[in-house]
Amino acid sequence: MQLGTRWTSGDEPPKSVPAALRTGIEAVDATIPVDQLGQPRPRWTLTWLEGRPIAELDTGIIVSLDDNGQAVARNDPEDGFG
């Protein structure tokens, strides 16, 4: 069993985040504007499903690995954002 972790968008992901997933996370983070009003940035949650890493942003964006091991970002259709 692997435990997940959380971190703030824009911060360096923890070492437990696989390198292949980091590229997708960094691409999503690059699209989040810097808040000039001091609002907190959303947070990522890393979980593992059937041994595969999944990073979900508080906004509902999910970054996972496809069958080729490439990072893929998508909106969760259940979250109301997509």
Strands (E), 1-82: 5-8, 43-49, 52-57, 61-65, 71-75
Name the domain count of the chain: 1
Q: Write down the pLDDT at residue 82.
A: 41
Q: Is residue 25 part of a domain?
A: yes
Token pair for 30: 């690059």
Contacts of 72 (CB under 8 A, 6+ apart): 24, 63, 64, 65, 66
- 43-49 vs 71-75, strand pairing mode: unpaired
Q: Is residue 36 part of a domain?
A: no
Q: Are 28 and 57 in contact (CB under 8 A)?
A: yes
pLDDT reading at 80 higher than 80: no
Q: Are 4 and 47 in contact (CB under 8 A)?
A: yes
Q: Is residue 35 part of a domain?
A: no
Q: Write down the pLDDT at residue 51.
A: 87
Over residues 22-65, the pLDDT tens digits come to 999 999 999 987 776 767 889 999 999 888 999 999 999 999 99
pTM check: above 0.75: yes
Q: Is residue 24 part of a domain?
A: yes
Q: Write down the pLDDT at residue 32.
A: 85
Domain that holds residue 19: 5-30+41-75
Considering only residues 2 and 29, tell me which one the structure prediction assigns the higher pLDDT.
29
